[in-house]
Amino acid sequence: MSKIAAIKPFGQSIWLDNLSRGLIASGELAKILKEDAIAGVTSNPAIFYKSISSDPLYTGDLAELKKQDLTAEQRYEALVVPDIQATCDLTRSIYDQTKGVDGYVSLEVSPTLANDAQGTIDNAKRLWAEINRPNVMIKVPATPAGVIAFEELITSGINVNVTLMFNLTHVDNILTAYIRGLEARAAAGLPVDHVHAVASVFLSRVDSLIDPQLEAIGTPEALALRGKVALSFVKVSYQHYKKLFHGNRFAALKALGAHPQRLLWASTGTKNKAYSDVMYVEQLIGPETVNTVPDATLALFRDHGQAANTLDTDIDAAIANLVAVRQLGINYNLAGEQLQQEGLKQFDEAFVKLLELTK
């Protein structure tokens, strides 16, 4: 068994944070799905920019699309929707075997709609219909407008991957919006047993922002918190998840066959070379969660990662770490808002570059 596949018995699903036509056509994607028990695939504008700009399998189709009277965004979608459909078909057996828990492929709504609830709803519904696969997830950001859109999409029975979550407010807002969406669906007499969603919590960017602030403070207490804030945030978020979905609030929906909205760990490649290069995988393994991992980090874990149930350990220390950060004068909630805005900007910039390719 590969070291990555060894994570599965602990109840966590590993998804691949990468997608390209070459990855599909070469058979490499099918190979790692099988050998490493990879259970899903995520994409974003930055991933597709890299793929379309470097993968020669797009060249011919793009040249043909440029002869047609289409917008740059329509050409982009004409390129990537078939890739999403092909990947959904590749992972459909996982979806069927897990009864809809895994086997998902994610595609993002246009980043330009991050603050437009109705635009996000319309874009998501169109992509959902166009892809026409039960195991696609439409990605929506956890902005205030995104929360509104997400609730409506769940009520409409659309699978959603909510992205760019950086603080406990984001987590709680999204998890409760999911429940409200399912409650509205149940109240309308509609089935809730086939609707699935994940909530993508971003990790390495948190430490990249907070660590320099801790170093600027410079006390032994501050320095001791470096590299611990993101992990602590995730462990506390997981406790919120368990309380909500294994408590009274979700009980009636669970009786109707509804599924919890699993937390998903994103941005799991270690950016600081002083830390373990697999820390955001190794230290956050636990039941009913997902970790979407880039190729490079998968290779590192395949080489020297260790699978163990680590997510539910040292909870008191995680809480104490977040309290200590606040006592040092670092406003973690505001930091999360800053990180979300920076993440939106990065996706916007990647999308602009992407559309430059398809003009």
| Run of H or E residues at 5 | none
With beta carbons less than 8 A apart as the criterion, state whether 281 and 293 touch.
yes
pTM of the model: 0.95
Q: Is the pLDDT of residue 261 over 90?
A: yes
Do the beta carbons of residue 239 and residue 245 sit within 8 Å?
A: no
Instruction: List pLDDT tens digits, range 223-237.
Output: 999 999 999 999 999
345 is catalytic: no
* Percent of the chain topping pLDDT 70: 100
Closest Cα partner for 317 from 263, 258, 239, 248?
Answer: 239
Instruction: Measure the CA–CA gap between 86 and 221, rounded to whole angstroms.
Output: 51
Mean of pLDDT over the chain: 97
Predicted pLDDT of residue 305: 97
Q: Which residues contact 48 (CB under 8 A, 6 or more apart)?
A: 19, 76, 80, 354
Q: Is the pLDDT of residue 337 over 90?
A: yes
* Angle made by CA atoms 76, 141, 347, in degrees to the nearest 5: 45
Check 3, 8, 139, 235 and give the catalytic one.
139
> Which pLDDT value is given to residue 323?
97
CA within 13 Å, CB half, 154: 31
124: nearest Cα among 156, 102, 88, 92:
156
Beta strand pairing call for 197-202 and 40-41 = unpaired
| Angstrom distance (rounded) from CA 241 to CA 199 | 10
pLDDT value for 204: 95
pLDDT reported for residue 1:
85
pLDDT at 238 over 90: yes
Mean pLDDT confidence for 320-348 = 95
